[in-house]
C-alpha cells in the first residue's frame, strides 16, 4: 500500500522485486499517476541494503573532509568530462534554465559507469564521446572505489526495475526500454552542503532551481536544515520531507520528452537554512542520475500521442541531449562570476 505525503506521494514498490504481475501493475499505475501530477515520489521497500548506503555515506564523508588541495588532485578535468571533484561555487544549476543567480553552495564528487569494457569500440571516446571516460579515484579514503561501485550497481538495478514499471504504467510491454538502457551513461554523485557560518548572498541556493536532464533520478537525502523543495503546478515551493528508509525519485527532461509531456519534469532546488537554524547545518545527498544509452534515439512513445496531444519533440539521442545540458550549465557559470 502507498500513502500520500503532502504533494509528493510515498509508494511501496515491494512488488517490483517479485513475480506477482498483477501487483506490479498496481504499482505501475501509482507511479504513472505520480509522474503525471508532480514528477516526484518517494519509494519504500526499494531493496537497497542499509550497509551499502552507509558505506557510500562514510566514504563520501571522509573524502569531503580532506584538505582542499588533496581533493583537487581529482578535480573535474573539463566541462564535458563530469568525473571527480568540483568545489563550492564552481556550478550553478539554475544556469541550465538561463536563470542567473549566485553560484551554488555545495561541493560534489561524480563518477560515471563502472566496469566498462575498454576493448569494446562502443565505449571508446571516438564513438562515445565523454560518456564512458574513466573515473577518477582519490588515494584516500581507502575503500571508496569499492563502496561507490557497489552503490552504482545497486542504483542501476533499481532504476531498471523502475523503468520496467514505467513502461507498464504507460501501457507498453514491461521490457520496452530494455534495449535503450542496457549500456546506460548514468552517473552517481555525492553532494556535500557545508555548514554555513555566514549568511548566503541574496538569491543564493545550495542548489539553484532546475530540472534534471535524464530519465530518472534517485536521491538519498538527510534530515538537516536547508532541504529539497519542489515547485508545484500551483506555483508554490513545497519541501520534500525526509521519510525514514525511503528514497526520493523524480523524472527528468528526457523522460518528459519521451512521454510527450504527459509526465512532468518538475523544477526543484535545495534551499539554504533559514536564519533561525541553529547548530550544524551541514547535509549530504547521494544522487543517481539514470540516463539511457548514448545512442538511444528518444522518440515520442506511441501511447503518448493523441489527436489532442500530437508529437511535440523531434527525435534526439540520449547522449546529445545530456551533453548539451552539461555544456550550457558549465559555460554560463564560467561567464558569470
**What value does the mean pLDDT take over residues 94-120?**
77
Residue corresponding to grid cell 557560518: 197
329 has pLDDT over 70:
no
DSSP E strands in 145-246: the ranges are: 187-193, 207-210, 216-220, 228-231, 237-239
Residue 145: burial class (beta carbons within 10 Å; 0-12, 13-18, 19+) = middle
Query: Residue 4: inside a domain, yes or no?
Result: no
Query: Residue 3: inside a domain, yes or no?
Result: no
92 has pLDDT over 60:
no
285 backbone dihedrals φ, ψ, rounded to 5°: -125, 145
pLDDT at residue 276, rounded to an integer: 60
107 has pLDDT over 70:
yes
Cα 131 to Cα 122: distance, rounded to the nearest angstrom = 11
Look at 19-28, 163-172, 211-220, 281-290 and tell me which has the smallest mean pLDDT.
281-290
Q: How many domains does the chain have?
A: 1
Query: For residue range 126-183, what is the model confidence (pLDDT) as tens digits?
Result: 999 999 999 999 999 999 999 999 999 999 999 999 999 999 999 999 999 999 999 9
Range of the domain at 288: 10-335
pLDDT at residue 3, rounded to an integer: 46
Write the CATH number for 170.
Answer: 2.60.120.330
Contact 173, 71 (CB under 8 A): no
Tell me whether the omega of the peptide bond preceding residue 201 falls within 30 degrees of 0, making it cis: no
Could you tell me how many helices (H) and strands (E) the chain has, helices first? 7, 14
pLDDT band at 336 (very low <50, low <70, confident <90, very high): very low
Range among 6-10, 106-110, 165-169 with highest mean pLDDT value: 165-169
Query: Residue 20: inside a domain, yes or no?
Result: yes
Query: Residue 79: inside a domain, yes or no?
Result: yes
Residue corresponding to grid cell 542520475: 289
pLDDT at residue 94, rounded to an integer: 45
- The closest of 227, 238, 222 to 270, measured between CA atoms, is 227
Q: What is the dihedral sign for C-alpha 160, 163, 168, 173?
A: negative
Cα 259 to Cα 298: distance, rounded to the nearest angstrom = 10
Query: Residue 194: inside a domain, yes or no?
Result: yes
Look at 64-68, 96-100, 132-136 and tell me which has the smallest mean pLDDT.
96-100
In a 3-state reduction of DSSP, which class is residue 194? coil
Query: Residue 5: inside a domain, yes or no?
Result: no
Kindly write down the DSSP assignment for every residue of 44-74, as one continuous string. ES----HHHHHHHHHHHHHHHTS-HHHHGGG
Instruction: Count CB atoms within 10 A of the CB of residue 336.
Output: 12
Amino acid at each position: 500500500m502507498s500513502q500520500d505525503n503532502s504533494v509528493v506521494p510515498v509508494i511501496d514498490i515491494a512488488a517490483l522485486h517479485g513475480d506477482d504481475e498483477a501487483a506490479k501493475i498496481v504499482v505501475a499505475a501509482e507511479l504513472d499517476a505520480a509522474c503525471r501530477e508532480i514528477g516526484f515520489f518517494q519509494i519504500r521497500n526499494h531493496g537497497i541494503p542499509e550497509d551499502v548506503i552507509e558505506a557510500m555515506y562514510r566514504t563520501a564523508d571522509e573524502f569531503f573532509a580532506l584538505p582542499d588541495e588533496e581533493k583537487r588532485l581529482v578535480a573535474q578535468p573539463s566541462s564535458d568530462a563530469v568525473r571527480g571533484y568540483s568545489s563550492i561555487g564552481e556550478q550553478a544549476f539554475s544556469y541550465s534554465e538561463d536563470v542567473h543567480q549566485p553560484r551554488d553552495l555545495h561541493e560534489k564528487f561524480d563518477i560515471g559507469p563502472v566496469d566498462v569494457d575498454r576493448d569494446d569500440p562502443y565505449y571508446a571516446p571516438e564513438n562515445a564521446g565523454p560518456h564512458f571516460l574513466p573515473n577518477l579515484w582519490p588515494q584516500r579514503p581507502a575503500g571508496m572505489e569499492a563502496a561507490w561501485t557497489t552503490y552504482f550497481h545497486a542504483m542501476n538495478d533499481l532504476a531498471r526495475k523502475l523503468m520496467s514499471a514505467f513502461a507498464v504504467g504507460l501501457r507498453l510491454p514491461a521490457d520496452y526500454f530494455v534495449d535503450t538502457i542496457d549500456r546506460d551513461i548514468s552517473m552517481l554523485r555525492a553532494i556535500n552542503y557545508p555548514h554555513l557560518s555566514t549568511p548566503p548572498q541574496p538569491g543564493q541556493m545550495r542548489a539553484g532551481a532546475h530540472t534534471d536532464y535524464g530519465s530518472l533520478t534517485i536521491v538519498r537525502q538527510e534530515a538537516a536544515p536547508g532541504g529539497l523543495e519542489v515547485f508545484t503546478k500551483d506555483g508554490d515551493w513545497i519541501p520534500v520531507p525526509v521519510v525514514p528508509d525511503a528514497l526520493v525519485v523524480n523524472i527528468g527532461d528526457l523522460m518528459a520528452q519521451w512521454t510527450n509531456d504527459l509526465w512532468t519534469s518538475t523544477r526543484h532546488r535545495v534551499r539554504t537554512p533559514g536564519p533561525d537554524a541553529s547548530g550544524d547545518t551541514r547535509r549530504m545527498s547521494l544522487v543517481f542520475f539514470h540516463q539511457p544509452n548514448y545512442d538511444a534515439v528518444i522518440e515520442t512513445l506511441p501511447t503518448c500521442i493523441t489527436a489532442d496531444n500530437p508529437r511535440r519533440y523531434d527525435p534526439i539521442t540520449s547522449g546529445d541531449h545530456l551533453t548539451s545540458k552539461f555544456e550550457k550549465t558549465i559555460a554560463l557559470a564560467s561567464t558569470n562570476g
